[in-house]
Amino acid sequence: MKPIIVVTSTFDNGHTFLHKDYSNAIIEAGGIPFVMPYMASQDMLDQICEMADGLMLSGGEDIDPFLYGEEPAPGLGAITPERDVLESRLTERFLKSDKPILAICRGLQLLNAVAGGTLIQDIERAQAVCLQHRQQAPRAHLSHQIHIESGSLLERIIGSAHIRVNSFHHQAVKRTAPDFRVNATAADGIIEGLESMIHRFVLGVQWHPENLAGTNEAANDIFRAFVHACISK
């Protein structure tokens, strides 16, 4: 049986949508993606969380700073409050049940906020020296290098201390959530990955491996490891 994986989506003007790269990456790795529409029903959420084998938090717009106890600062972009609420509830349930989570870009930031961490609301306003984290290049282009921490889950998956990644974000992790560790950083110190120290498989990456899957072995390894963890739950 292939694992069923809930994949969060973007809400905009009454529409729910998800780039096909997310679902394709899950399918190619051996999973069945279930694209999550907006719903407020607690009973429905409970049933979906019971049914699903894993959760993938996808990318998107900014997160309401209220979630991590801050006021909105200059540089904060568009937010979608209903998406924040839905994904927070999903994340809390999957963490509590110790089911695998893969969090990508915005998903990493949401995961960190829900687990008790904070975010940099706008990197360029927060530090004088930084890399270009919103690349002006095709999505599959490898923009900058990251360092992966020795002994981390991410290192075990990828098998390398350094890789190049794509980059499409202006927010980032500031304070890491309790029971989480940093597993990757960029040359300017920006956190590029997190993982739980108390769950079987909870991994967040700041880049977009779904845009690289199929042609980039590190991206393929991430999705294969995630789907395998969902099978082995």
CATH code: domain of residue 103: 3.40.50.880
- Reply yes or no on whether 210 is catalytic: yes
38 vs 179: which has the higher pLDDT: 179
User: Is-contact 40 89, C-beta < 8 A?
Assistant: no
Catalytic residue list contains 133:
no
Q: Give how many domains the chain has, as a whole number.
A: 1
DSSP-assigned beta bridge partners for residue 164: 145
| 105 belongs to the catalytic site | yes
Please write the tens of the pLDDT for every residue from 158-194. 999 999 999 999 999 999 999 999 999 999 999 999 9
Range of the domain at 127: 4-231
The residue from 87, 192, 195, 210 that is catalytic is 210
In tens, the pLDDT along 120-156 reads 999 999 988 899 999 999 999 999 999 999 999 999 9
Q: Which of 49, 105, 130, 230 is catalytic?
A: 105
Interval 209-231 mean pLDDT: 97
142 with 166: CB under 8 angstroms?
A: yes
Residue 168 exposed, middle or buried by CB count within 10 Å (0-12, 13-18, 19+):
middle
Annotated catalytic residue, options 133, 144, 170, 208? 208
Mean pLDDT across 61-83: 96
